[in-house]
């Protein structure tokens, strides 16, 4: 008959491996007790007993207890259930014997089962306690019955036979259970030994056991223990794998070999000494200790050992261990170190910063430049790792992320440049992103500030040469055109002068002389302006810090007559910044700009000139302006007005060189000048100049 439904309901749940055997015994005993107890209750009910009969109280109570204990086992309370079963079972048997036949009651024989169960489920101390209690209970029943302290109620032979049958059945089940468990344990031991032997023999690691004769006292100094390990230790057990590591055919050839005989030249090397010393200091439990040894054919090999000592009575009697041949790994490491040394030497010779970045621009590796002229950017090397570029250099984070995505998608190199402020110096860096793996890239960063400066200087030089060539062309044109006109006038009127002199026409003679003088004066002014222009950029005064407001006031004072005659209102912004440069030359610039503004007012009823500043350029230069509300300039002439001797209105006085001089002076100071204007709406001339250094201001 199968009881699978009951087994499924009360199937125990074992949470800890050490409870498994106890739980299995307890589960079987409880199921057996449940079946037997149900049989006893049924038999007694068939005999005519009632549920509350003295003979059924204990079986029914035991039935309830068994169900409760099965539930406890299912919950995992194995030890507690075992103790409760033994204790309550013993108390129930004692109660049953007291209420029934005492020492003559067949229940007394269950004491044997109780002691047996206690030995199986708990420990030997508890089984001894219940053995003593059982013997004491039997003698207690016997003494009370001899003295007539209780009345005997002997069972019929059939009842005795029935109870004994139940007891022997339970005893048989327990014996069967114990024998089965012992058989399974022995089989498991044999199977484990077989698996262990197969594992040892097929292991890729060498397995060994050293025996020490005589044992090594662990109270000796560590250094002395190390010496004795190699002198007294010999291989008493090992597998074939270990033998093959030393060049032997089988483990039998290696057994009995002393450890010292396997070392290089029979000497204890420093590597072996340190490994053994580590083993001793760690209480003969050590892993990953390297040793250097010699094989049968004389080759030097390296092993990685893990060992556990066997210590008895304060002495080392044996040492278990495993051994892995790492000779190839050591050779590879040596080759890798040499390769790394070569790579490091190469990297040291390259003045670049090298980063390994993942897809999110997190810095995985960082190699700094060893070049003395390349400063470390922003953070020391150890603070780069694990950070994203957005944390380190946020200004180029988005640009770098785009570059990384392009490189990972295409596998091609991507390069870009970016500016970076280091200390007080603006640097230009070039970053070259190259593919490394499906999720990582290499970023090689180089300081190209010097190259960029050289390139800019080269371009500036080219532009300067082009500008000078253009000026030379204009100069040639001026000499050939503007100077030719006065010469033609002089030559022509000299002819008239000769004719008037012959004719005696003194009035016309004076007029001819006046015309010749005017032409000569014009030629003189042109020549002076040409000479002045040629000096710009070559003959300069000592640069200095200049109070721009003070210089504007001086210019306005010089031009007071023209401004007063034109009834021109002039407004100057306060707190204009100090500038640095050639003061006389910059004075000329302001004079030209303000004079031009006053000259071209036209018929403006309320003429005005405004002088001030509108912000700064990207490199920090202040942007000054001179604004008027005069006749204005057509935008198509905004570049032509800065040309040499280029006058939009030939009727005005001057040679047309003023704005050309202003432009040349501003550019010599590193600034630039431009105009914004519309006809009839005035003109605004903007120009930039370098600010004065704070040290220059303090010195002034």
Rounded to whole angstroms, how far apart are CA atoms 459 and 5?
A: 97
Strand pairing class (206-217; 233-238): antiparallel
| Strand boundaries in 394-520, DSSP class E | 414-422, 425-437, 440-447
Domain borders along the chain are 4-184, 203-332, 350-447, 482-535, 544-699
Rounded to whole angstroms, how far apart are CA atoms 629 and 617?
A: 25
For residue 690, the model assigns a pLDDT of: 92
For residue 376, the model assigns a pLDDT of: 46
Confidence of residue 482 (pLDDT cuts 50, 70, 90): low
Rounded to whole angstroms, how far apart are CA atoms 107 and 39?
A: 15
Among the residue ranges 59-63, 202-206, 530-534, the one predicted with the least confidence is: 530-534
Q: Pick the residue with more confidence: 322 or 122?
A: 322
| Exposure letters 359-380 (e unless 16+ CB within 10 A, then b) | eebbbeebbbbeeeebeebeee
Place of tokens 């009995």: 256
Distance of CA 13 to the CA centre of its chain: 46
pLDDT at position 325 over 80: yes
For residue 17, the model assigns a pLDDT of: 42
Concatenate the DSSP letters of all residues of 279-322 into one string.
Answer: HHHTTSEEEEEEEEEE-TTS-EEEEEEEEEEEEETTEEEEEEEE
Which residues are 545's β-sheet partners?
580
Rounded to whole angstroms, how far apart are CA atoms 552 and 568?
A: 16
Rounded to whole angstroms, how far apart are CA atoms 207 and 198?
A: 12
Q: What is the pLDDT of residues 371-381, one digit of tens each?
A: 544 444 445 65
Rounded to whole angstroms, how far apart are CA atoms 315 and 279?
A: 15
Angle (nearest 5°) at CA 78 between 72 and 79: 125
CATH architecture of 544-699: 2-Layer Sandwich (3.30)
Confidence of residue 475 (pLDDT cuts 50, 70, 90): low
For residue 49, the model assigns a pLDDT of: 63
Residue 236 has which token pair? 């008493």
pLDDT at position 536 over 70: no
pLDDT over 90, % of the chain: 10
For residue 5, the model assigns a pLDDT of: 44
For residue 19, the model assigns a pLDDT of: 54
Report the mean per-residue pLDDT for the chain: 77
Q: Which positions ≥6 away from 305 have C-beta within 8 Å?
A: 275, 286, 289, 290, 291, 321, 322, 323, 324
- Mean pLDDT, range 503-513, rounded to an integer: 76
Rounded to whole angstroms, how far apart are CA atoms 444 and 234?
A: 57
In this structure, which CATH number among 3.20.20.210, 3.30.450.20, 3.40.1280.10, 1.10.10.10 belongs to the domain 350-447?
A: 3.30.450.20
Rounded to whole angstroms, how far apart are CA atoms 509 and 506?
A: 5
Angle (nearest 5°) at CA 682 between 678 and 684: 90
Residue 411 has which token pair? 């596998």
- pTM of the full structure: 0.36
Say yes or no: do domains 203-332 and 350-447 share a fold. yes
What size, in residues, is the chain?
A: 700
| CATH match of 203-332 with 3.40.50.300 | no
Q: Which positions ≥6 away from 234 have C-beta within 8 Å?
A: 210, 211, 213, 256, 257, 258, 259
Q: Pick the residue with more confidence: 323 or 446?
A: 323
pLDDT at position 230 over 80: yes
Rounded to whole angstroms, how far apart are CA atoms 48 and 517?
A: 166
Among the residue ranges 253-262, 293-302, 487-496, 613-622, the one predicted with the least confidence is: 487-496
Residue 218 has which token pair? 């662990």
Q: Which span out of 103-112, 141-150, 290-299 was modeled with the highest average pLDDT? A: 290-299
Rounded to whole angstroms, how far apart are CA atoms 224 and 65?
A: 64
Among the residue ranges 1-10, 23-32, 46-55, 208-217, the one predicted with the least confidence is: 1-10
For residue 628, the model assigns a pLDDT of: 92
């Amino acid at each position: 008959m199968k009881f699978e439904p009951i087994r499924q309901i009360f199937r125990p749940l074992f949470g800890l491996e050490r409870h498994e055997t106890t739980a299995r015994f307890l589960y079987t005993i409880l199921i057996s007790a449940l079946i037997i107890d149900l049989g006893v209750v049924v038999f007694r009910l068939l005999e005519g007993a009632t549920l509350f009969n003295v003979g059924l109280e204990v079986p029914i109570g035991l039935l309830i207890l068994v169900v409760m204990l099965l539930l406890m086992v299912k919950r995992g309370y194995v030890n507690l259930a075992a103790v409760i079963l033994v204790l309550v079972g013993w108390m129930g048997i004692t109660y049953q014997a007291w209420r029934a036949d005492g020492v003559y009651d067949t229940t007394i024989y269950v004491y044997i089962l109780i002691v047996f169960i206690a030995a199986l489920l708990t420990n030997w101390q508890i089984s001894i306690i219940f053995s003593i209690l059982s013997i004491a209970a039997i003698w207690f029943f016997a003494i009370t019955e001899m003295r007539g302290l209780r009345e005997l109620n002997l069972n019929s032979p059939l009842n005795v036979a029935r109870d004994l049958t139940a007891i022997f059945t339970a005893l048989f089940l327990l014996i069967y259970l114990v024998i089965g468990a012992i058989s399974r344990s022995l089989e498991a031991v044999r199977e484990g030994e077989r698996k262990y032997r197969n594992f040892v023999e097929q292991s890729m690691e060498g397995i060994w056991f050293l025996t020490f004769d005589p044992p090594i006292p662990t109270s000796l100094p560590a250094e002395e223990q190390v010496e004795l390990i190699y002198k007294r230790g010999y291989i008493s057990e090992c597998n074939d794998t270990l033998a093959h590591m030393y060049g032997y055919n089988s483990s039998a050839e290696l057994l009995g070999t002393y450890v010292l005989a396997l070392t290089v030249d029979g000497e204890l090397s420093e590597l072996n000494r340190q490994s053994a010393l580590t083993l001793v200091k760690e209480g003969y439990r050590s892993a990953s200790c390297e040793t250097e040894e010699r094989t049968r054919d004389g080759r030097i090999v390296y092993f990685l050992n893990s060992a556990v000592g066997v210590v008895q009575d304060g002495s080392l009697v044996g040492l278990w261990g495993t051994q892995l041949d790492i000779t190839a790994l050591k050779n590879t490491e040596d080759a890798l170190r040499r390769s790394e040394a070569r790579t490091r030497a190469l990297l040291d010779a390259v003045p670049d910063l090298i980063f390994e970045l993942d897809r999110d621009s997190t810095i995985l590796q960082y190699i700094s430049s060893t070049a003395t002229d390349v400063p470390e950017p922003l953070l020391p090397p150890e603070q780069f790792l694990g950070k994203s570029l957005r944390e380190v250099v946020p200004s180029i984070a988005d640009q770098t992320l785009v570059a990384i995505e392009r490189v990972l998608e295409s596998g091609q190199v991507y390069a870009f440049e970016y500016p970076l402020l280091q200390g007080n110096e603006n640097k230009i860096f070039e970053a070259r992103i190259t593919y490394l793996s499906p999720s990582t890239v290499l970023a090689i960063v180089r300081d190209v500030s010097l190259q960029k400066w050289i390139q800019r200087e080269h371009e500036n030089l080219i532009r300067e040469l082009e500008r000078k060539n253009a000026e030379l062309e204009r100069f040639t044109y001026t000499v050939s055109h503007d100077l030719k006109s006065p010469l033609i006038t002089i030559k022509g009127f000299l002819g008239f002068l000769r004719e008037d002199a012959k004719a005696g026409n003194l009035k016309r003679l004076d007029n001819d002389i006046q015309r010749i003088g005017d032409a000569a004066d014009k030629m003189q002014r042109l020549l002076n302006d040409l000479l002045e222009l040629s000096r710009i950029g070559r003959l300069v005064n000592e640069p200095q810090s200049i109070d721009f407001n003070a210089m504007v006031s001086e210019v306005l004072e010089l031009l007071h007559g023209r401004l007063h005659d034109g009834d021109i209102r002039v407004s100057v912004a306060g707190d204009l910044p100090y500038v640095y440069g050639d003061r006389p030359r910059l004075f000329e610039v302001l004079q030209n700009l303000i004079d031009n503004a006053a000259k071209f007012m036209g018929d403006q009823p309320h003429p005005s000139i405004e002088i001030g500043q509108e912000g700064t350029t990207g490199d920090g230069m202040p942007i000054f302006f001179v604004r008027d509300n005069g006749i204005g300039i057509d935008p198509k002439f905004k570049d032509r007005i800065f040309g040499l001797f280029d006058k939009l209105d030939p009727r005005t006085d001057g040679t047309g060189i003023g704005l050309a001089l202003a432009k040349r002076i501003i550019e010599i100071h590193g600034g630039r000048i431009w105009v914004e204007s519309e006809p009839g709406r005035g003109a605004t001339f903007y120009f930039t100049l370098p600010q004065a250094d704070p040290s220059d201001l303090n010195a002034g």
